[in-house]
């Protein structure tokens, strides 16, 4: 069994300057102020757009992220309906080919915690029964019935910037599940580094 940490990967982020130029043009159409576009004007314009809550303008640019999470967290991710998703399929992926399943390490238990040890024992049991079912002739879509919520899955999500901001505000909240919060905070920090104008107003409250 392979125990791995959750992760998040930016796939096709265009870069702040490219995004701001496009968003400024789209937003200025609303005010017929395209003649005011100048060097450096995009940042001020977009900051004001966000401050005023005119975030429909932000829907004109999308980007894609790959989440490596467990199946439980993936169910929360795909609830964000103004987005497109592609997800690793337990119907078609035969984990017996690798002679192991991969599971996501729970971020809320240390490895010397009895709860972690019980979790690990449960994962090993699920792996054993899955492999046994495959060996006895079950198809992957049949054998998946014994796979746990902790099973590693990969989810590719494409959404516009307005929806990403909505996602990050919800999923970095202390009220969010610890495992989705784990990847959401990591993604937010990446985006704040790459495009602070678009994401630096989203704060994270430490728990």
Q: Which of 28, 71, 171, 181 is catalytic?
A: 171
> Please, which residues have CB within 8 angstroms of residue 34's CB and are 6 or more apart in sequence?
25, 28
Whether residue 171 lies in the annotated active site: yes
CB 66 within 8 A of CB 9: yes
Q: What is the pTM of this model?
A: 0.94
Residue by residue, pLDDT tens for the chain (207 residues) are 999 999 999 999 999 999 999 999 999 999 999 889 999 999 999 999 999 999 999 999 999 999 999 999 999 999 998 899 999 999 999 999 999 999 999 999 999 999 999 999 999 999 999 999 999 999 999 999 999 999 999 999 999 999 999 999 999 999 999 999 999 999 999 999 999 999 999 998 876
Beta strands in the chain (DSSP E): 2-4, 7-10, 62-70, 84-87, 102-104, 152-160
Cα–Cα distances (Å) from 43 to 35, 50, 206, in that order, read 16, 11, 29
CB 26 within 8 A of CB 60: yes
Q: What is the pLDDT of residue 207?
A: 64
Q: What is the pLDDT of residue 206?
A: 73
Which position has the token pair 């400024």? 24
């Amino acid at each position: 069994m392979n125990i791995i940490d959750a992760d998040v990967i930016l796939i096709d982020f265009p870069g702040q300057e490219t995004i701001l130029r496009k968003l400024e043009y789209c937003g200025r159409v609303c005010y017929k102020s395209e003649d005011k576009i100048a060097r450096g004007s995009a940042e001020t314009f977009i900051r004001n757009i966000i401050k005023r809550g005119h975030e429909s303008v932000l829907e004109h640019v999308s980007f894609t992220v790959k989440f490596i999470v467990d199946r439980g967290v993936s169910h929360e991710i795909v609830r964000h309906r103004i987005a497109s998703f592609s997800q690793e399929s337990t119907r078609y992926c035969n984990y017996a080919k690798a002679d192991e399943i991969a599971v996501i390490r729970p971020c809320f238990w240390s490895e010397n915690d009895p709860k972690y040890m019980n979790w690990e024992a449960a994962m090993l049991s699920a792996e054993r029964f899955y492999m046994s079912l495959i060996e006895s002739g079950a198809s992957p879509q049949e054998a998946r019935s014994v796979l746990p919520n902790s099973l590693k899955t990969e989810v590719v999500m494409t959404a516009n910037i307005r929806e990403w901001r909505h996602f990050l505000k919800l999923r970095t909240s202390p009220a969010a599940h610890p495992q989705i919060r784990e990847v959401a905070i990591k993604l937010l920090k990446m985006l704040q580094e790459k495009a602070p104008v678009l994401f630096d107003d989203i704060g994270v409250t430490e728990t």
